[in-house]
């Protein structure tokens, strides 16, 4: 059994801690919760049956009782945490992104590779049922040669966050980073070469002057000729909406569904489908799948997962998008590497 520490007990750290203690992932045992600030850390741990909490996560680097860590701290801290745990030879599952800029992400990727550990980035969309099947269809040649990939992320509204507390570049570094990874994964074997991005504050226009961005569209050109598009919004009033499409010389495959069920209710006012949802409710199976893959790889299985190279490639696209949106021009990936 691999003994795991969750490092960062915020929203997604709590979700992952609940998942790891629910008996749904074989081979991982949550033994420590670490967070310098969460006021209810001890109560949270007690409620999950986790006996140990620490306030200084770096204390766990090299700790004999921790074989692996799940990093769910804020994005800007990922590189230093990866450096510490990789340096100590502990396996790492890190939430996306690797960092908030290419330099720190590249250092994190190098630290992870050098350490010879099991290292995985939390691109959970790769484990969602329809994306798994889309990948199989692309690999089987069903769409032929890939010409277009489209991917979108719309977070459920209403948007209730304070824009001042959201780091610059978040729509690219933390939201669209999923789409960037998915697009590269579905257009495997080719590299992104150029990006053009447009971003704005359409959901919270009052924050536009501070540089806040909540909506973005990105065009990505690849060296195999494929053209990809990715779009994101922080507020879809109808629910959580992740979808995608791969189109090629022989056909097309579509992924994602904005509804929770295939049931359609028809009444005097029309046809209805339940679209309310969140990442936690709609993508539970994908989160479970990514942790099972992490456990299986630690156990020696040869399972394909998003790793350091994938995290860095997605970060290049995010960085090029940030520059492109700021400078209103296409930006080559070589400019940000
Ligand atoms: N894959 C996904 O679907 C998904 C979903 C949500 C968030 N995320 C990612 O997970 C990360 C965390 O997001 P969140 O929404 O949970 O943020 P959050 O702000 O809710 O939680 C972050 C937590 O980290 C703690 N923290 C601060 N400094 C720390 C340190 N040095 N060491 C350990 N913990 C520290 C904070 O106290 C807080 O409890 C981000 O990188 C985000 O992009 C991924």
Give the model's pLDDT for residue 34: 98
Spatial contact of 294 and 93, defined as CB atoms under 8 Å apart: yes
Give the model's pLDDT for residue 306: 98
* Alpha carbons 36 and 105: distance in angstroms, whole number: 23
- Ligand 1 pocket: which of 72, 161, 283 to mutate (most atoms <8 Å of CB)? 72
CA of 70 to the centre of ligand 1 (A): 11
For residue 122, the ligand 1 atom closest to its alpha carbon is 1
**What's the average model confidence in pLDDT over 226-231?**
98
Give the model's pLDDT for residue 71: 98
* Alpha carbons 206 and 200: distance in angstroms, whole number: 11
Q: What is the sign of the dihedral through the CA atoms of 177, 181, 183 and 189?
A: positive
3-state helix, strand, coil in the chain (%, to 5): 40, 25, 35
Spatial contact of 289 and 251, defined as CB atoms under 8 Å apart: no
Here the tokens at position 133 are: 């099947």
Q: What is the pLDDT of residues 232-250, one digit of tens each?
A: 999 999 999 999 999 999 9
Using CA atoms, how far residue 329 sits from 44, 323, 324, in Å, is 47, 8, 5
- Ligand 1 pocket: which of 7, 9, 12, 175 to mutate (most atoms <8 Å of CB)? 12
37 touches ligand 1 (CB under 6 Å) = yes
- Ligand 1 pocket: which of 6, 7, 9, 10 to mutate (most atoms <8 Å of CB)? 10
Q: Where are the beta strands (DSSP E) in 201-249?
A: 215-222, 227-236, 241-248
CA-closest residue to ligand 1 atom 15: 11
Question: DSSP states of 98-150 as a string?
Answer: S-SSHHHHHHHHHHHHHHT--EEE--GGGGSHHHHHHHHHHHTTTT-SEEEEE
- Ligand 1 pocket: which of 57, 70, 74 to mutate (most atoms <8 Å of CB)? 74
Q: What is the pLDDT of residues 110-121, one digit of tens each?
A: 999 999 999 999
* Alpha carbons 84 and 57: distance in angstroms, whole number: 10
0.75 exceeded by the pTM? Answer: yes
* Alpha carbons 194 and 222: distance in angstroms, whole number: 7
CA-closest residue to ligand 1 atom 22: 10
Give the model's pLDDT for residue 220: 99
**What's the average model confidence in pLDDT over 128-146?**
98
Give the model's pLDDT for residue 322: 98
**What's the average model confidence in pLDDT over 221-238?**
98
Residue 258 CB partners (closer than 8 Å, separation 6+)? 238, 239, 240, 241, 243, 275
CA of 17 to the centre of ligand 1 (A): 12
Give the model's pLDDT for residue 194: 98
Domains of the chain are 2-117 (3.40.50.720), 126-280+304-336 (3.30.360.10)
Give the model's pLDDT for residue 111: 97
**What's the average model confidence in pLDDT over 249-266?**
95
CA-closest residue to ligand 1 atom 21: 10
Here the tokens at position 251 are: 């056909």
Give the model's pLDDT for residue 5: 98
95 touches ligand 1 (CB under 6 Å) = yes
174 touches ligand 1 (CB under 6 Å) = yes
């Amino acid at each position: 059994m691999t003994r795991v520490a969750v490092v960062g007990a915020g929203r997604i750290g709590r979700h992952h801690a609940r998942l790891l203690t629910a008996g749904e992932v074989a081979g991982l045992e949550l033994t420590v919760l670490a967070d310098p600030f969460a006021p209810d850390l001890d109560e949270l741990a007690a409620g999950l049956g986790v006996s140990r909490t620490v306030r200084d996560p770096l204390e766990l680097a090299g700790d004999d009782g921790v074989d692996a860590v799940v990093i769910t701290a804020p994005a800007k801290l990922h590189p230093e945490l990866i450096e510490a745990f990789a340096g100590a030879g502990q396996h790492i599952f890190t939430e996306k992104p690797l960092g908030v800029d290419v330099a720190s992400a590249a250092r994190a990727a190098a630290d992870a590779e050098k350490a010879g550990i099991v290292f995985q980035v939390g691109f959970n969309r790769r484990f969602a049922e329809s994306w798994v099947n889309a990948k199989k269809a692309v690999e089987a040649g069903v769409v032929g040669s890939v010409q277009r990939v489209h991917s979108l992320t719309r977070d459920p509204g209403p948007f209730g966050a304070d824009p001042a507390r959201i780091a610059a570049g978040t729509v690219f570094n933390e939201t669209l980073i999923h789409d960037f990874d998915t697009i590269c994964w579905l257009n495997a074997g080719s590299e992104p070469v150029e990006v053009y991005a447009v971003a704005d504050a359409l959901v919270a226009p009052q924050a536009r002057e501070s540089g806040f961005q909540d909506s973005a569209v990105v065009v990505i050109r690849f060296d195999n000729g494929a053209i990809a598009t990715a779009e994101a919004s922080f507020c879809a009033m109808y629910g959580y909406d992740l979808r995608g499409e791969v189109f090629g010389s022989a056909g097309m495959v579509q992924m994602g569904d904005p509804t929770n069920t295939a049931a359609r209710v028809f009444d005097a006012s029309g046809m209805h489908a339940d679209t309310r949802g969140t990442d936690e409710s709609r993508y539970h199976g994908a989160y479970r799948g990514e942790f099972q893959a992490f456990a299986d790889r630690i156990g020696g299985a040869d399972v394909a997962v998003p790793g350091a190279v994938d995290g860095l490639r997605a970060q290049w696209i995010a960085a090029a998008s940030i520059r492109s949106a700021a400078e209103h021009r296409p930006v080559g990936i070589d400019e940000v590497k």
